[in-house]
Amino acid sequence: MSAPRVAQMALVAAVRQLTAAGIEGAATDARRLLAHAMGVAPDRLTLHLQDALTPEQATAFEVALNARAAHQPVAQITGRRLFWGHAFHVTRDTLDPRPETEILVAAALERPFVKVLDLGTGTGCILLSLLKSMPMATGLGCDLSAPALDVARGNAKTLGLTARARFQQADWFAGVNGAFDLIVSNPPYIAADEMADLSPEVRNWEPLSALTPGGDGLDAYRAIARGAGARLMPGGRIVLEIGPTQGPAVAALLAAQGFSDIEIRPDLDGRDRVVLAHKPGAGTGCGCA
């Protein structure tokens, strides 16, 4: 029987394997996967590099490496992604929460709100991050995907938000009742002719319906712009994530529906990332000034 392999040796071999498979950031991914297989926090891995891997850990690491070599995202392999300081469960039924979506969360939190609607909630990362930061608020997350809603409900439970977060299967506003002082969404916005340019991690592993509506990529914004006015309180806000070339088109859709004070915000790389708009009116809710 061969001696157990030391973690550091396994890590060196793993970086070589992922590099040969064309994985960008191979060293970082290998460390995250080794920490996952060993059951330690990634920032504590250095303290365990001289440990011998158990047979179970070695097998788990091999399985994880083979999955990553096939371009499966690390978050799907580990089932976990950090977003807005919280850990969210991730599966193949949901988008992998991305750092640039935190720009949307930050914009939404610039003013208080009491009732928030999240369209296309996925993991629930936007809705739940907002509720964790706004303790008096409640929210509804909608999605067409029943498996995605199961993931979101699980994340709400983990974060202690089941009393303030509800989830509903819905096609945008269909079946959604009540009025909200904030509507947020990171809808599918990739145009059909842009799909081929996506990385294999996204194109082959994330749910197609959460990536693209087909066509010019604007269909979700058309539906949201048409329906948002009826669900927003006077003075309420809408905050939408967009693709980097879609700002003017989405702003025009909202303006055509009577929204005002429309802004386009960039992400940290200077690319257009979020559109904000207001429903005219004095407003009486906490988030309506």
Q: At what angle do helices 26-38 and 7-20 cross, to 10 degrees?
A: 140
21 contacts 72 by C-beta, under 8 angstroms: no
Q: pLDDT (tens digit, 9 = 90+) per residue, 22-43?
A: 999 999 999 999 999 999 999 9
| pLDDT for position 16 | 98
Q: What is the 3-state secondary structure (H, E, C) of 122-170?
A: CCCHHHHHHHHHCCCCEEEEEECCHHHHHHHHHHHHHCCCCCCEEEEEC
Mean pLDDT by 10 residues, the chain (289 residues): 81 98 97 98 95 97 98 97 97 96 98 98 98 97 98 98 98 96 97 95 95 95 97 97 97 98 96 97 55
In angstroms, the CA 114 to CA 136 distance is: 7
For 14-122, strand residue ranges (E) read 80-83, 86-89, 115-119
Task: Report the predicted TM-score, pTM, of the whole model to 2 decimal places.
Answer: 0.93
Residue type, 194: E
- What DSSP element (H or E) covers 5? none
Topology, domain 81-278: Rossmann fold (3.40.50)
SS3 content of the chain, % helix, strand, coil (to 5): 45, 20, 40
CA triplet 101, 285, 175: central angle to 5 degrees?
Answer: 65
The CA distance from 45 to 35, in Å, is 6
Residue 281 has a pLDDT of: 87
pLDDT at position 71: 97
pLDDT value of residue 206: 96
At 5 the pLDDT is 87
Listed by start position, the domains of the chain span 7-70, 81-278
Position 1 scores a pLDDT of 46
How high is the pLDDT of residue 87? 96
Question: Would you say 138 and 114 are in contact if contact means Cβ atoms under 8 Å apart?
Answer: yes
* Residues facing residue 81 across a β-bridge: 88
